[in-house]
Structure 1
């Protein structure tokens, strides 16, 4: 009798099969154990490689993290590059998130539940423009995350933070009514009072 052929959908992905998802896609439980030589996200049941980022991107991300951590209020926590569970086939890793830490067991937590998020911050890289400007805002708005910041350089090389608020009626983001784009200084009251010197962070 010949060997029985199996498909990846019948079990966990392996280092040899992760690139061949079943017809209905992988779930997080099927791929979370993988030890791959690159960072990745699960997007609609497919493993998507996260590209390398430049020093500038990482510097801005880390300094925003530090600034948010310095001003955060309870019950919020701030973390960078943390897995977010949107659903069992979509686990993203935003640059920075602010989330409600209540009722979360940090010793066992693998991904932050998307319903716990208060703010997502994405720093735009040349290879992430479409994701950070279109796909991710749509994804997190559909999940009712209250606030989204898109951070990038303007044409004049100045750091700009585009602040968006969630509209429950349209299930989409709209520019913050008072200061939709922050330059020089970022001052906002949500999700908690924040004042950040962008000139220091960007250069």
Structure 2
């Protein structure tokens, strides 16, 4: 049975011909937090798992701890990929010069060094297929995809191949992620899912 909207009931915004643009994301009222723009369509985030929350906090904290002085790490912040795409990676490593003030709402793709996506049940296709394609086309050199397999984290690491402009696999990591790109890190991935009590991730 279909249900017709009644007066006073909030409705989703109706897209214009050709779809929404990156600028519209700042102008549309009452959007849910962390709304993304993918191919001119608004994508709303579903409730997240505890694994997702812990993984995002883990990578934000440890990448920030290892980052050089001219690099910043930002959590859940949109990237200007093109006019119809403004995705929001879970963690972004960006050149510090791209941060323009506390009222800033997006980052230029050309300043992003690494995009990290923690996969949720509803984001599998976007994180495995749609977003990597768009990040690579935008020139983002590094992409990490974090998944949970049998209650354990797995990180798929990709690097953009300059000749083709697409991501090439650079490794699959389960218990430990050690890499020199975009800067040296040595991460104990098992810490994502253990009980930490009051300790910081």
Q: Which structure 2 residues correspond to residues 4-19 of structure 1 after superposition, within 5 A? A: 19=13
Does residue 36 in structure 1 map to residue 31 in structure 2?
yes
Q: Pick from 19, 23, 33: which aligns with 1:25?
A: 19
Q: CA offsets per residue over residues 34-93 of structure 1, 9 Å max, x none?
A: 222454111222212122211111111111111111111121100110111112321111
Q: What does residue 5 of structure 1 align with?
A: none
1:188 maps to: 179
In structure 2, runs of 5+ residues without a counterpart are 1-8, 195-201
Alignment of 1:28-177 (within 5 A): 28-33=22-27, 34-102=29-97, 104-154=99-149, 156-176=150-170
- Residues 37 and 99 of structure 1: CA distance in aligned 2, closer, same or farther (over 3 Å): closer
Gaps of 5+ in 1: 1-14
The answer as to whether partners of 1:99 and 1:117 remain within 8 angstroms in 2 is: yes
Kept in 1, the 8 Å contact 2:79–2:87? The answer is yes
Aligned to 2:4: none
Residue matched to 1:3: none
Aligned partner of residue 87 in structure 1, secondary structure = coil
**Alignment partners' CA distance in 2, 1:159 and 1:26:** 35
TM superposition outliers: structure 1 runs of 4+ over 3 Å: 15-19
CA RMSD of aligned residues (A): 1.9
Aligned residues: 185
CA contact (8 A) 1:60 1:201 kept: yes
- Among residues 188, 191, 197, which one is paired with 1:200 in the alignment? 191
Deviates more, 1:103-112 or 1:122-131: 103-112
Distance 1:144 1:37, change over 3 A: closer
Q: Tell whether the 8 Å contact from 1:85 to 1:111 is kept in structure 2 after alignment.
A: yes
Give the stretch that moved more between structures: 101-110 or 80-89. 101-110
- CA drift of 1:31 comes to 3.7
Q: CA offsets, 1:148-179, max 9 Å, x none?
A: 0011123x433111111101111111111xxx
